[in-house]
Amino acid sequence: MAETGTYLYAIAQDVGHPLPEEVAGVTGAPVRAITHEGLAAYVSPVPLEEFGEEPLRRFLEDLDWVGGTARAHDRVVEAVAKEAPTAPVRLVTVYSSEDQVRDLLRRRHDDLAEVLDHVTGCREWGVKAYAKPSEEAPRAEEAPEETDSPGTAYLKRRRASLRGREDAWRLAARRAEDIHTTLASISVACHRHRPQDPRLSGREETMLLNGAYLVAEDRREEFVAAVDALRGEEIEIQLTGPWAPYSFTSVDLGPTRAETLDAP
């Protein structure tokens, strides 16, 4: 019999709803809840021949494996988050036994409860804004005149084009700032993440904003409408969600009770 570990997906308020049976964990095994005083930790058994430290080093180099595991992890987190305030746990957090998870709930009960209180009644939305710099036509006052020599005309066109592009970028950056400010005003909390690399986003355009917004469920429609209203010519906006509050539950839980919470 192969050795197994306990894979932890998320910690949530215990609302007494069991997960739907079709929600399987990262290896296909069913996910179950370990509960303790109002908290529920969602776990599934994993073979250590795959999820032990050494095998993981190897598997984490395999992007297909990482992708599949990440999606499965997220699927469990989302299923939990639909039912209860949830704090997602980082990918591949594996315990030796369920007892250790129970112990975590006991030792860090107050910290976890506080984090969950903060996200109760809210979902996270992701908003990405991309620059769509247009092919700038030279502005009228810079346009070459018919009397200009070909060289002068070229230089004028070039200068106008450069200036037009600079202006376009400045404008786009300012628009991204406005978008963030507007959406933040509708949110309980917000977080600007680093823009994604084009190879990660799969897009050539420059990402100007990679924001996460914690939005109360009763303001959801208002938020989505605000995003739609902000769409414009120079900027493309992409809305994703609702997500579990990944960006608003970033706490480091050390092994000791004395450790303090990092503010998200």
Partner 1 sequence: MADVMRSGGSFPRSSGGRESSANLADILERVLDRGVVIVGDIRVNLLDIELLTIKLRLLIASVDTARELGIDWWEHDPWLSSRDRDLIEENRVLRDRLSAVEGDEEMEGTRRRSLDRGSSGDARELRSTGRFREERDG
Site string for partner 1, 168-197 (x = CB under 8 A): -------------------------xxxxx
Nearest to 42 by CA among 17, 59, 67, 60: 17
Region of residue 91 (left: phi > 0; alpha: psi -120 to 50; beta: else): beta
Which residues inside 227-256 make contact with partner 1, applying CB under 8 A? 239-243, 246-247, 249-256
**Beta-bridge partner residues of 129:** 209, 237
**Element spanning 161, H or E:** helix 150-184
Q: Which residue lies nearer to partner 1 by CB, 146 or 218?
A: 218
Structure tokens at 258: 């004395």
Q: Which residues contact 87 (CB under 8 A, 6 or more apart)?
A: 10, 11, 12, 112, 115, 116, 119, 245, 249, 251
16 or 68, CB closer to partner 1?
Answer: 68
Site string for partner 1, 79-98 (x = CB under 8 A): x--x----xxxxxxxxxx--
Scanning residues 139 to 158, which ones bind partner 1 (CB under 8 A)? Answer: 158
CB of 84 to partner 1, least distance (A): 13
Among 14, 98, 103, 142, binds partner 1 (CB under 8 A): 103
Assigned token pair, 121: 């009644």
Chosen residue from 14, 78, 142, 236 binding partner 1 by CB under 8 A: 78
Helix (H) or strand (E) holding 188: none
What are φ and ψ of residue 58, in 5° steps?
A: -75, -50
Residues 3 to 62 in contact with partner 1, rule: CB under 8 A: 5, 8, 11, 26-29, 47-48, 50-53, 56-57, 59-62
Q: Which residues 105-124 are close enough to bind partner 1 by CB under 8 A?
A: 112, 115
Instruction: Pick one of 21, 37, 145, 202: the residue that binds partner 1 (CB under 8 A).
Output: 202
Taking the least distance from each CB to partner 1, the nearer of 79 and 147 is 79
How crowded is residue 11: how many other Cβ atoms within 10 Å of its Cβ? 28
Q: How far is the CB of 214 from partner 1 (least distance, A)?
A: 12
Query: Rule CB under 8 A: is residue 216 a binding residue for partner 1?
Result: no
Radius of gyration in angstroms for the set of CA atoms belonging to the chain, rounded to a whole number: 24
